[in-house]
Amino acid sequence: MVTDRRDFLVNGIQVACSLSLLGLMKESALRKGKVGGKLPLERTLVVVQLSGGNDGLNMLVPHRQDAYYRARPTLALGRDRLHALGRGFGLHPQMGALARLFEAGKVAAIHGVGYPIPNRSHFRSMEIWHTADPVNRVRDHGWLGKLLDRSCEDPARASMGAIHVGGREIPLALRGETSDPTAITDARGLQLRELQGFASLRNGMTGSRTGEARESAYLRAVAEQSYRVSTRFSRAFERSEKADTPGYGLAQRLRLVAGLIEAGFGLRVLHLELTGFDTHAQQGRLHGALLEELSESLSAFQLDLEARGIDDRVSTLVFSEFGRRAAENGSRGTDHGAAGPVLLVGSRVRPGLHGTPPDLEALQDGDVPFTTDFRSIYTAVEKDWMGVQTSMDLRPMELFV
Amino acid sequence: MLRPWQPRPGEWNDQAATHLLRRAGFGPKKGQVRQMLELGLSGAVETVLTTDTHAEELYRGIEPLLAQGEVSTLQAWWMALILAGGAPLRERTALCWHNHFATSFDKVDDVRLMHRQNELFRREGLGDFRRLLHAVARDTAMLLWLDGGDNLKSHPNENFAREVMELFGLGIGNYTEGDVLEAARGFTGWGTRGRSSVFREKHHDAGMKEVLGMKGTLDAADVIDAVLDHPACARHVAHRLLKEFVAPRPRQEWVDALAEELISNRWDIGATLATLFASTLFFSDEVRRARIASPVELMAFSVRALGVPFAPKRAAQLCAEMGQALFRPPNVKGWDGHEAWVNVGTWIARHNAMVEVAEAKRSTIDSDAPRHATAEAMREELLANVHTPQLDDAVGRALAEAADTPTSIAVAAALVLTSPEFHLV
């Protein structure tokens, strides 16, 4: 590991170039001479997206409010089963691991996060979170992509890049203009199948073509990037193949993420997803299992980062596109709601409960109204964690130490 | 732009015929392009529209296997129908609707229901869109997928009501939150019992509602009709068809023209596609090779073009690796498609899949045949069958060097299949 890091720093420029080939930065940024020789081991943001609309009220439970128990005759969680966090809130019974992290001062939970005029469409609301724009429909760029773009303009920070781990589609949040994210399913997904004599012939065919159509040029660029980096990736994966990670899918993906961060590709953003939160019916067992996976995986990830000695430069943001209605529906589930809690995990977060706790006696249209604009969390991440200029006109929350 | 294309001499050529076969189906088999050229444009379009019979044994083959409950078996079966090419346009259209009404086994968790929905797309997919939409609204897999399984008057479930407007029928901006809430009331009473969709009168909200300007004691069918009556609906469907069959970013005037065509054909998808496939627009330079092939297209094009034996189950697995697991779209919006198919991760998956197809080619080569003759034949076959005139000189040179042993034939095939041009359709 030490050798790798030294090589990394000594051969800064070479590495920087290969990073651009990794699909982390588009060639245009390179041509503008915007790649510096130094690649400081910078901070990394890990984003865990809870897709489908997490029922925040059953994750961070307001157990002192009778209105909670009235609204949810079958789904409410008894206060004696919760992991108490103080101030009238407790974590879901299956989130013991996260509760222990909270006690250790490594979790910040922010109440009531959302935006004005809640949108109940999964896709539109997710788009809003991904683009940080609740008003205009932005299709091409996400807040993290733009963050990476801005960082590319600063020669000292040109090493940034983003990977989505666990699927094949690049999330909108990661798409930028000059930054060029990639997506991988798992550790095996980047090993090339070769035929004898094929690689040399293929390599003889590289290079752009004049007058080539846009799509064709795009495919060729991606193909060439892929070939040049797959070996490099494979090595990083091998290092991440250690045992003692819980069997949850999210935990496995986070183990890979830890390996990729440690390997020093200069990755700044890693994006993961935990799906299945759209619990309109019979949500009890299903939601519990998801929260358990989340809790156990975040906890294992934190331990892993600590063991690798890189916990100081990694923070994890956990969000969902919306919360759910306060009242349960007739199917023992909950329908799309508005605001919900956001979690930040890491050794450098300002621990504890933040923001205004939801008051279930003061719902708006049956929903928890938002009391913290999600963009004030994004701004904190941009400014106080990633150290780039913020793109949003909002005061950052104080979330990092 | 939808008027019939009248090719000048030489324009109805290999490229045009390949374009038709790749867009309206899953690509040419060996020798099929020549056949199409002989038929002429109208004969070729007619053939594309009427090649519509699956081998009975293959088509029925899934039935005894459904009891196993394995989604991989269902994926393999659909892939087998696609690769066999008995009804290319029907399967192509079914895949289009699978993406439009994207429903995932991951939540439905019932192979029989996924199969039944797939059969619905196959049966109705080239017919009247209104029938299709009404049928989708009562489809059991769809009810489970969008939480209509237990939709009560006391607690209307908004999920299906929202998607029927946002994704299936109208698109965002053409309805209000109020329409969604009112529509949800209309859908109450519908639910599932076992593997059936059922309507229970006592759970239906029979009160007055207003959806998209339609007023009355609207029920589920009325709500669907209100969506279909909205002028945005035909445009929404036209946009989907253009994205699937013409170009990734359809122009507004194409959308308007095709929507008009759809209405004048009384919502008949097959008749609308018949006009489209014979049109100036469909064969225009602007739209040729303008789409990045989806994983399913890529598998089918390569396996069919090279005429290699390839297990459908494996083909379906490779599609999943490349980002398109049949019956398991990422969400109700389906696959984004086009450039979203390709990044470093998925390109490596594409590369690996294509190399595997190329290796399968090796097994078809008679190693006793004279080497030189084999090489020549293979070179012609590869370049001719793959039909990518834009393939670079470099590929040609590589083929010349490579094509002299079974192994190097596979290398040559791999060069073609992994060339970026092959992935443009």
B/e letters for A324-356, b = 16+ CB within 10 Å, e = fewer, are bbbbbbbbbbbbbbbbbbbbbbbbbbebebbbe
The predicted-structure confidence for A185-243, as pLDDT tens digits, reads as follows 877 777 788 887 777 777 766 665 666 677 888 888 888 878 876 766 666 666 555 66
Which pLDDT score is estimated for A285? Answer: 95
Mean pLDDT of B347-356: 94
Tell me how close the Cα of A133 comes to any Cα of chain B, in angstroms: 16
Q: Is residue B33 part of a domain?
A: no
> How far apart, in Å, are the Cα atoms of A385 and each of A42, A44, A316?
10, 8, 11
Q: What percent of chain B has pLDDT over 70?
A: 90
Mean pLDDT of A234-258: 79
- Average pLDDT value for chain B: 90
Structure tokens of B380? 């012609």
Which of chain A's residues have a Cβ under 8 Å away from the Cβ of B325?
A: none
The predicted-structure confidence for B3-38, as pLDDT tens digits, reads as follows 999 999 999 998 899 999 999 999 998 788 889 999
With a cut of 70, say whether residue B389 has pLDDT above it. no
- Average pLDDT value for chain A: 83
Please name the member of B154, B172, B349 whose beta carbon is closest to the beta carbon of A124.
B172
The predicted-structure confidence for A361-372, as pLDDT tens digits, reads as follows 999 989 999 999
The predicted-structure confidence for B299-335, as pLDDT tens digits, reads as follows 999 999 888 899 999 999 999 999 999 999 988 889 9
Closest to B266 (Cα-Cα) out of B170, B129, B165: B129
Would you kindly state where each structural domain of chain A is located, as residue ranges? 44-190+231-385
- In this complex, do A197 and B402 lie within 8 Å of one another by their Cβ atoms? yes
More confident residue, A283 or A239: A283
Integer Cα distance of A163 and A225 in angstroms = 14
- In this complex, do B347 and A222 lie within 8 Å of one another by their Cβ atoms? yes
Which pLDDT score is estimated for A148? Answer: 85
Residue B190 parent element (H or E): strand B190-193
Which pLDDT score is estimated for A261? Answer: 86
Integer Cα distance of A47 and A319 in angstroms = 8
Which pLDDT score is estimated for B392? Answer: 53
Q: What is the total count of domains within chain B?
A: 2
For A247, what's the count of Cα atoms within 13 Å in the CB-facing half-sphere? Answer: 0
More confident residue, A137 or B342: B342
Contacts of A192 (CB under 8 A, 6+ apart): A227, A230, B348, B351, B352
**DSSP character at residue B285:** G
Integer Cα distance of A83 and B50 in angstroms = 65
Integer Cα distance of A320 and A57 in angstroms = 13
Same domain for B412 and B332? yes
Tell me how close the Cα of B178 comes to any Cα of chain A, in angstroms: 12
The residue of chain B with its CA nearest to that of A334 is B157
Mean pLDDT of B270-289: 96
Which pLDDT score is estimated for A263? Answer: 73
Which pLDDT score is estimated for A27? Answer: 39
Which of chain B's residues have a Cβ under 8 Å away from the Cβ of A215?
A: 289-292, 339, 424
Structure tokens of A184? 């991988």
With a cut of 60, say whether residue B386 has pLDDT above it. no
- In this complex, do B331 and A51 lie within 8 Å of one another by their Cβ atoms? yes
- Report residue B380's pLDDT band, with 50, 70 and 90 as the boundaries: low
Give chain A as a 3 state SS string.
CHHHHHHHHHCHHHHHHHHHHHHHECHHHHHCCCCCCCCCCCCEEEEEEEECCCCHHHCEEECCCHHHHHHCCCCCCCHHHCEEEECCEEECCCCHHHHHHHHCCCEEEEEEEECCCCCCCHHHHHHHHHHCCCCCCCCCCCHHHHHHHHHHCCHHHCCCCEEEECCCCCCHHHCCCCECCEEECCHHHHCCCCCCCHHHHHHCCCCCCCCCCHHHHHHHHHHHHHHHHHHHHHHHHHHHCCCCCCCCHHHHHHHHHHHHHHHCCCCCEEEEEEECCCCCCCHHHHHHHHHHHHHHHHHHHHHHHHHHCCHHHEEEEEEECCCECCCCCCCCCCCECCCEEEEEECCCECCEEECCCCCCCCCECCECCCCEEHHHHHHHHHHHHCCCCCCCCCCCCCCEC
- Four-residue CA torsion sign, A210, A213, A216, A217: positive
Of B176, B202, B230, at which residue does a domain stop? Answer: B230
With a cut of 60, say whether residue B243 has pLDDT above it. yes
Which of chain B's residues have a Cβ under 8 Å away from the Cβ of A333?
A: 147
User: How far does CA B160 lie from the centroid of its chain?
Assistant: 22
Q: Is residue B31 part of a domain?
A: no
Tell me the helices (H) and strands (E) count for chain B, helix number first: 22, 4
Same domain for B394 and B316? yes
Which pLDDT score is estimated for A5? Answer: 26
With a cut of 90, say whether residue B339 has pLDDT above it. no
CATH code assigned to A44-190+231-385: 3.40.720
Instruction: Supply the range of the domain harboring residue B374.
Output: 295-423
Which pLDDT score is estimated for A107? Answer: 98
Mean pLDDT of A28-44: 46
Same domain for B330 and B226? no
Which among A122, A140, A168, A260 is the top mutation candidate for probing chain B, defined by the most B β-carbons within 10 Å of its own β-carbon? A168
Q: Is residue B222 part of a domain?
A: yes
Integer Cα distance of A25 and B328 in angstroms = 31
Please name the member of A121, A137, A226 whose beta carbon is closest to the beta carbon of B162.
A121
- In this complex, do B147 and A195 lie within 8 Å of one another by their Cβ atoms? no
Q: Is residue B308 part of a domain?
A: yes
Which pLDDT score is estimated for A232? Answer: 66
Integer Cα distance of A1 and A65 in angstroms = 51
Which of chain B's residues have a Cβ under 8 Å away from the Cβ of A331?
A: 147, 149-150, 152, 155, 157
- In this complex, do A195 and B346 lie within 8 Å of one another by their Cβ atoms? no
- Report residue A19's pLDDT band, with 50, 70 and 90 as the boundaries: very low
Mean pLDDT of B252-272: 98
Give one DSSP letter per residue of B339-406, joined into a string.
Answer: GGG-SHHHHHHHHHHHHHHHHHHHTTS-TTS-HHHHHHHHHHHHHHHHT-TT--HHHHHHHHHHTTSH
Phi and psi for A242 in degrees, rounded to 5?
A: -115, 165
Sheet holding A89-91, edge to edge: A60-62, A89-91, A83-86
Q: Is residue B391 part of a domain?
A: yes
With a cut of 50, say whether residue A144 has pLDDT above it. yes
Tell me how close the Cα of B285 comes to any Cα of chain A, in angstroms: 12
Which of chain B's residues have a Cβ under 8 Å away from the Cβ of A220?
A: 420
The predicted-structure confidence for B172-223, as pLDDT tens digits, reads as follows 999 999 999 999 999 999 999 999 999 999 999 999 999 999 999 999 999 9
Integer Cα distance of A98 and A345 in angstroms = 9
- In this complex, do B155 and A331 lie within 8 Å of one another by their Cβ atoms? yes
- Report residue B379's pLDDT band, with 50, 70 and 90 as the boundaries: low
Which pLDDT score is estimated for B298? Answer: 97
Which pLDDT score is estimated for B370? Answer: 55
Which among A198, A282, A364 is the top mutation candidate for probing chain B, defined by the most B β-carbons within 10 Å of its own β-carbon? A198
With H, G, I as helix, E, B as strand and everything else as coil, classify residue B104.
coil
- In this complex, do B351 and A192 lie within 8 Å of one another by their Cβ atoms? yes
Which pLDDT score is estimated for A109? Answer: 98
With a cut of 50, say whether residue A260 has pLDDT above it. yes
- In this complex, do A194 and B355 lie within 8 Å of one another by their Cβ atoms? yes
Which among A75, A195, A286 is the top mutation candidate for probing chain B, defined by the most B β-carbons within 10 Å of its own β-carbon? A195
Integer Cα distance of A233 and A21 in angstroms = 12
Integer Cα distance of A158 and A149 in angstroms = 9
Which of chain B's residues have a Cβ under 8 Å away from the Cβ of A330?
A: 150, 152, 154-155
Lowest mean pLDDT of A219-223, A228-232, A284-288, B151-155, name the range.
A228-232
With a cut of 50, say whether residue A40 has pLDDT above it. no
Lowest mean pLDDT of A152-161, A277-286, A369-378, B205-214, name the range.
A152-161
Same domain for B299 and B199? no
With a cut of 60, say whether residue A166 has pLDDT above it. yes
Closest to A353 (Cα-Cα) out of A157, A62, A81: A62
Phi and psi for A315 in degrees, rounded to 5?
A: -125, 145
Mean pLDDT of A274-293: 96
With a cut of 60, say whether residue A30 has pLDDT above it. no
Closest to A325 (Cα-Cα) out of A50, A57, A52: A57
Of B196, B230, B264, at which residue does a domain stop? Answer: B230
Lowest mean pLDDT of A64-68, A161-165, B63-67, B134-138, name the range.
A161-165
Q: Is residue B147 part of a domain?
A: yes
> How far apart, in Å, are the Cα atoms of A288 and each of A91, A143, A277?
11, 30, 10
Are residues B299 and B341 in contact, defined by beta-carbon separation less than 8 angstroms? no
Count of A–B CB contacts within 8 Å?
Answer: 161
Please name the member of B322, B349, B355 whose beta carbon is closest to the beta carbon of A195.
B355
Which pLDDT score is estimated for A237? Answer: 63
With a cut of 50, say whether residue B51 has pLDDT above it. yes
By CB neighbour count within 10 A (0-12 exposed, 13-18 middle, 19+ buried), where does A274 fall?
A: buried
Q: Is residue B188 part of a domain?
A: yes
Integer Cα distance of A397 and A393 in angstroms = 13
- In this complex, do A330 and B290 lie within 8 Å of one another by their Cβ atoms? no
Structure tokens of A139? 């299709």
Q: Kindly provide the ipTM of the predicted complex, given to two decimals.
A: 0.87
Please name the member of A120, A170, A280 whose beta carbon is closest to the beta carbon of B343.
A170
Name the residue type at position B106.
D
Tell me how close the Cα of B9 comes to any Cα of chain A, in angstroms: 26
Same domain for B334 and B415? yes
Q: What is the pTM of this model?
A: 0.76
More confident residue, A13 or B36: B36
Which pLDDT score is estimated for A347? Answer: 97
Which pLDDT score is estimated for A34? Answer: 37
Which pLDDT score is estimated for A216? Answer: 82
Which pLDDT score is estimated for A381? Answer: 95
Structure tokens of B70? 């394995």
With a cut of 70, say whether residue B70 has pLDDT above it. yes
The predicted-structure confidence for B78-127, as pLDDT tens digits, reads as follows 999 999 999 999 999 999 999 999 999 988 999 999 999 999 999 999 99
Lowest mean pLDDT of B9-13, B291-295, B342-346, name the range.
B342-346
Of B180, B195, B230, at which residue does a domain stop? Answer: B230
- In this complex, do A330 and B347 lie within 8 Å of one another by their Cβ atoms? no
- Four-residue CA torsion sign, B107, B113, B119, B124: negative
Are residues B407 and B362 in contact, defined by beta-carbon separation less than 8 angstroms? yes
Which of chain B's residues have a Cβ under 8 Å away from the Cβ of A168?
A: 322-323, 345-346, 349
